[in-house]
Structure 1
Amino acid sequence: MSADLELQKAIRAALVADGGVTALVPASKILDMNAAPAPNPSIILGESQVIDNGSSLAGDHEQIVHTLHIWKEEASLVGVKGIASAIRGALAGRLSLPAPYHVAGQKVASARFLRDPDGVTSHGVVTLEVLISGDAP
């Protein structure tokens, strides 16, 4: 069992359960995939980084930084900013993970908005930071 994988599942579950998110991006377009071009609109569960937090002598804390990529065909950045706001709302509460993991803290650390070089697509990148305690059995 991996805290990183369990976190990814929990993030997707929180997004597809949130009406504010799914009003903007259908649940079927909230994906863990690598495709070009990305479906329009979509939220792609992106890269993650696992960092030994070092906050416990037991070594049972990890900080996980996870990115979410937002894609939408639009002339402006309005749509991706709206989706990012909905994501922030959906991830405002503490995520629930299966035992032996526990979310000790989480925050949406940043959101960036970019115009894709194709001239048609807007792209947002939301970064979530999560502190997880618990060892794999």
Structure 2
Amino acid sequence: MASPSLELQGAIVARLKAWAGLSATVNGRVYDSVPAEEKRIAETGAGWPYITVGEGDETSDDADCIDGFEISLDIDIWSRANGYPESKRISDEVRKAIKSADLALPTNALVDFRHRQTRFLRDPDGLTSHAVMTFEGFAEQP
């Protein structure tokens, strides 16, 4: 039996890589583990911006005859464009792409999935804009 959060991560990555609203800016740069900038450039023609599937947690929430899981997941947007506009545009497209429970999981059932918040930060390097998006959902395991 697969972990609901692992299946959800796979569905999110696939959706973001295929989402038309992200193709021009992100061009498939959606990662769990970020490759070196040189490799990103070689593979996609650019190193920035990119998206990472960040930290999350999976909490058991079982009921009668149902193995349920509350899932919280962060998605991060990284940009080197001047200011916050690029990270804000990308985060809006990410929200549109994955804001509902229509993400199909191979063996588990995603009952609910929603965007909770987005925070915009300037990284200490002074060059990188960073958006941290938090999503929450509920999945049932057969």
TM-score of the aligned structures, taking structure 2 as reference length: 0.85
Between the aligned partners of 2:33 and 2:23, the Cα distance in structure 1 is: 18
Q: CA RMSD in A?
A: 1.8
Task: Tell me how far 1:53 sits from its aligned partner.
Answer: 2.4
Task: Please name the residue that 1:14 is paired with.
Answer: 15
Residue 117 of structure 2 corresponds to residue 113 of structure 1: no
1:21–1:90 contact (8 Å) kept in structure 2? no
Cα deviation per residue 1:11-59 (whole Å; 9 max; x = unaligned)?
A: 00111111002222111x11111568794210011111001224x2234
Residue matched to 1:102: 109
Structure 1 moving runs of 4+ over 4 Å = 34-39
Q: Which amino acid aligns with 1:118?
A: D
- Aligned residues: percent identity? 33
1:7 partner SS: helix
| Contact persistence 1:52–1:62 (CA under 8 A) | yes
1:8 is aligned with what amino acid? Q
Q: What residue ranges of structure 2 are gaps of 5+ in the alignment?
A: 41-46
**TM-score for both structures, normalised by structure 1:** 0.88
Q: Structure 1: which 5+ residue stretches go unaligned?
A: none
Q: Is the 8 A contact 1:103 1:131 kept in 2?
A: yes
Q: Contact between 1:103 and 1:132, CA under 8 Å: does it hold in 2? A: yes
Question: Which residue number corresponds to residue 4 of structure 1?
Answer: 5
